[in-house]
Amino acid sequence: MIVRAEGAPRRPERLRRFELAPVRGIWRHELALYKRYWKSQSFASMVEPTFFLLAFGYGFGSMVAAIGDYRYLDFVATGVVGTAALFTSVFPGMFNGYIRRVFQHTYDAILATPVDVHELVTAEALWIAAKSAVYSCTPLIVALFFGLDPSPGMLLVPIVTFFTALGFGLFGMWTSSVVPSINSFDYVITGVVTPLFLIAGTFFPVGTLPGWARHAAQLNPLFHCVELVRHAVFGLRPLADLGHLGALVLFAALMWLIAVRGMRRRLIG
Amino acid sequence: MTLHGARLATTEASGGAAAISLRGVVKRFGDFTAVDGLDLDVPSGSCLGLLGPNGAGKSTTMKMLTAQAIADEGTIDVLGFSVPRESKRARAAMGVVPQQDNLDEELTARENLEVFAHLYRVPRGERRRAVDDALALAHLTDRQRTKVDDLSGGMRRRLLIARGLVHRPALVLLDEPTVGLDPQVRAELWGLIDGLRSRGTTVLMSTHYIEEAERLADECALMSHGRVIARGSPAGLVAEHAGARVVEHYGPPDRLADVERLARGAGLPTRRTGPSVSVLRAESIPPSLDERLGPDGVRRAASLEDVFVVLTGERVE
């Protein structure tokens, strides 16, 4: 038993409503975990878009040479950036949110320290978004090897995917606070995530859809993400793009509100 | 700083008042009232054992102190901070060791402590030292690179305690710190907890292991149905509610019922102890009753467990 002299107890400084220290602490946790799984995640994020581009670009692309002004392979490559942003954010949001809350009780441990629920949710979502922003660019890098022309606008893509992933990560965390059991995620995945992924102009243009579906796509954040990614890569349309970005930011803000509320309801008795 | 000085400093930090103070605290979950008008003070620098059967409201009380449960009525002060309004400041100054192991199994012992040194805002320059000290405290310096998943149950519990101490808090909440552990491991943890108290750290420990409370607590508060029904030093509680000695009578059910009837008729408390009936306050058994109870009684010292059962009832709900 080591006897330690107590440091002179300092009266803790006044703690503000929202602080960066909890975010740093939670990111430290994420970073420690990331050291364990970076290889598998990096493998998946590079190889998956390669498969998509091979399958759709060559398979489907042999029937459809171009969509509008885009080569079909370029169309798909930019679409897959959107799906990567969706999948690498909504799934961690859902499953980490649920597992850490219900099975591992990590969130209970964190909330016993000077961290409040809104800081916990924000920090977790920012980590998901930052990681997803980087990883969802890999399809573009892969596509460069398939003949996509590099352009300076590509540098804007991580910003687009960051806000997309922030919204979907928070959406995932919110669903994790709503579902009665982890099995209920089947409803979310099949009922929500799959249609979002298909009706977003990822593999075929939204314009080919019937009228109601075209309007529905306007409500799909992933549609705005994919539009922005294509415009960033092939040429910006400033006015429309501000609208698309606004839609993504609005989506993230709404999801933050309900995710914080849902998590607080579950974590604070 | 000397230990004596540390104790003084800790007392000063909380303004000389109680480290924890609850007044009229009520917590309901739907129709169920888990905590029902609880008044409780924990003096700075002392170890208070919170005793009570399952469902008495011990864990709920612990959760309200960190604002992980919000009281419906009453006031809670922790280290001079009003909870839940200033709970973040209170949480920064206290350590929590939960009943349920919530270490991160994928991380090493050291990484677990490093994360919490961050969360508890140990200044950058002191973090490494704080983590080293916490590892030494938990006797895990040699296992610091081992994943939690590969640690034994006792090691995990030591790490869980060390995690709550990494920022050297003035107050520690221990929720059933030794539940489910071997006697050897439990004894080791008792040494660790006793070390805390001798450093002047205030400890609030919930337990339903009577022996644990007897060994570690300066005072015990016995909880039942969401309120404190008795409070005092372990020895004082035993003397007050169970007397000095106990006689246990063994026999078939009819015989046990007889013993109960006779003892209670003479105003002596009894309790069932499995196959026997214990007659408490045996030192005050009059000779006439002693004769009628028969010579088969086994004498033993009264214990806190007797107090526990007499005050909280024989049946567990």
**CATH at residue B284:** 3.30.70.3110
Point out the residue among B1, B68, B115 whose CB comes nearest to the CB of A25. B115
Residue type, A221: P
Sign (positive or negative) of CA dihedral B113, B119, B123, B124: positive
Q: Is residue B307 part of a domain?
A: no
Which DSSP category does B295 fall into? T
Instruction: Check A105 against B192: CB less than 8 A apart.
Output: no
The answer to whether residue B54 neighbours chain A at the CB level (below 8 Å) is: no
Q: Is residue B11 part of a domain?
A: yes
Q: Is residue B309 part of a domain?
A: no
The answer to whether residue A215 neighbours chain B at the CB level (below 8 Å) is: no
List CB contacts of A194: < 8 A, sequence separation 6 or more: none
Residues B76 and B211 in one domain: yes
Round to whole Å and give the CA distance between A136 and A222: 13
By DSSP bridging, strand B171-175 and strand B18-29 are unpaired
Residues B224 and B285 in one domain: no
Residue with tokens 């909890």: A22
∠ CA(A202), CA(A174), CA(A185), 5° rounding? 70
Residue B12 pLDDT > 50, yes or no?
no
- B100-138 pLDDT per residue, tens: 999 999 999 999 999 999 999 999 999 999 999 999 999
Residues B181 and B283 in one domain: no
Residue type, A256: W
Residues B250 and B203 in one domain: no
The interface predicted TM-score (ipTM) is: 0.88
The CATH number given to whatever domain includes residue B41 is 3.40.50.300
Closest of B144, B208, B221, B222 to residue B177, by C-alpha: B208
Closest of A246, A98, A258 to residue A171, by C-alpha: A258
Round to whole Å and give the CA distance between B182 and B57: 26
- B247-282 pLDDT per residue, tens: 999 988 888 998 999 998 888 999 988 889 999 999
- Is-contact B17 B44, C-beta < 8 A? yes
Tally A–B CB contacts below 8 A: 126
- From the CA atom positions of chain A, what is the Rg in Å? 21
Residues B100 and B221 in one domain: yes
SS (H, E, C) A94-141: HHHHHHHHHHCCHHHHHHCCCCCHHHHHHHHHHHHHHHHHHHCCHHHH
Q: How many CA atoms lie within 13 A of B85 on its CB side?
A: 6
Average pLDDT in the B228-246 region? 92
Q: Which residue has the higher pLDDT, B3 or B203?
A: B203
Q: Which two tokens stand for residue B233?
A: 């030093």
Query: DSSP letter string over B118-138?
Result: HHTT--HHHHHHHHHHHHHHT
Query: DSSP letter string over A66-85?
Result: EETTEEHHHHHHHHHHHHHH
Q: Which structural domain, as residue segments, surrounds residue B172?
A: 3-238
Q: Which of B238, B253, B269 is the last residue of a domain?
A: B238
Q: Which of B205, B238, B271 is the last residue of a domain?
A: B238
pLDDT value for A53: 82
Closest of A25, A20, A21 to residue A106, by C-alpha: A25
Residues B137 and B203 in one domain: yes
Instruction: Check B199 against A114: CB less than 8 A apart.
Output: no
Residues B86 and B158 in one domain: yes
Round to whole Å and give the CA distance between B309 and B294: 24
List CB contacts of A71: < 8 A, sequence separation 6 or more: A65, A147
Closest of B207, B172, B210 to residue B193, by C-alpha: B172
Residue in chain A lying closest to B197 (CA): A3
- Is-contact A201 A223, C-beta < 8 A? yes
Residues B201 and B220 in one domain: yes
Buried b (16+ CB within 10 A) or exposed e, B50-80: bbbbebbbbbbbbbbbbbbbebeebebbbbb
Sign (positive or negative) of CA dihedral B195, B200, B204, B209: positive
Instruction: Check A269 against B3: CB less than 8 A apart.
Output: no
Residue type, B278: S
Point out the residue among A9, A36, A115 whose CB comes nearest to the CB of B13. A9
The band of B14, judged by pLDDT with boundaries at 50, 70 and 90, is: very low
Residue B222 Cα distances to A46, B25, B59, B206, B303, angstroms: 60, 16, 13, 10, 14
Q: Which two tokens stand for residue A49?
A: 């878009």
Residues B210 and B252 in one domain: no
Residue in chain A lying closest to B198 (CA): A3
Q: Is residue B128 part of a domain?
A: yes
Average pLDDT in the B78-88 region? 94
Residues B162 and B275 in one domain: no
Q: Is residue B28 part of a domain?
A: yes
Instruction: Check A112 against B66: CB less than 8 A apart.
Output: yes
Residue in chain B lying closest to A24 (CA): B118
A112 CB neighbours in chain B (<8 A) are: 66, 68, 91, 96, 98
pLDDT value for B180: 80
Round to whole Å and give the CA distance between A82 and A75: 11
The answer to whether residue A30 neighbours chain B at the CB level (below 8 Å) is: no
The band of B155, judged by pLDDT with boundaries at 50, 70 and 90, is: very high
- Between positions 213 and 272 of B, the ones with CB within 8 A of A are none
The answer to whether residue B202 neighbours chain A at the CB level (below 8 Å) is: no
pLDDT value for A222: 97
Q: Which residues pair with B25 in a beta bridge?
A: B38
- Number of domains into which chain B is organized: 2
Round to whole Å and give the CA distance between B9 and B181: 34
Q: Which residues pair with B169 in a beta bridge?
A: none
Round to whole Å and give the CA distance between A79 and A233: 11
Residues B19 and B111 in one domain: yes
Q: Is residue B316 part of a domain?
A: no
Closest of B39, B33, B32 to residue B18, by C-alpha: B39
Closest of B5, B57, B79, B89 to residue B225, by C-alpha: B57
pLDDT value for B175: 93
How far out from the chain centre does Cα B303 lie? 17
Residue in chain A lying closest to B138 (CA): A1
Question: What does pLDDT average to over chain B?
Answer: 89
- Is-contact A77 A148, C-beta < 8 A? yes
Which DSSP category does A148 fall into? P
pLDDT value for B11: 41
Q: Is residue B310 part of a domain?
A: no
By DSSP bridging, strand B276-279 and strand B47-51 are unpaired
Residues B57 and B200 in one domain: yes
Instruction: Check A269 against B106: CB less than 8 A apart.
Output: no
Q: Which two tokens stand for residue A119?
A: 């800081």
The answer to whether residue A102 neighbours chain B at the CB level (below 8 Å) is: no
Instruction: Check B115 against A28: CB less than 8 A apart.
Output: yes
Q: Is residue B112 part of a domain?
A: yes
B9 CB neighbours in chain A (<8 A) are: 6, 8-9
The answer to whether residue B68 neighbours chain A at the CB level (below 8 Å) is: yes
Q: How many CA atoms lie within 13 A of A251 on its CB side?
A: 26
B89 CB neighbours in chain A (<8 A) are: 12, 14-15, 114
- From the CA atom positions of chain B, what is the Rg in Å? 22
Round to whole Å and give the CA distance between A223 and A205: 10
Tell me the mean pLDDT per 10 residues along chain A, length 269: 42 70 96 94 86 80 81 90 95 97 96 97 98 94 90 96 98 98 95 93 88 91 97 93 97 98 96
pLDDT value for B140: 95
List CB contacts of A236: < 8 A, sequence separation 6 or more: A153, A156
Q: Which two tokens stand for residue B36?
A: 């029902």
Point out the residue among A4, A25, A116 whose CB comes nearest to the CB of B88. A116
Average pLDDT in the B28-53 region? 94
pTM, to two decimals: 0.89
pLDDT value for B178: 87
Residue type, B148: V
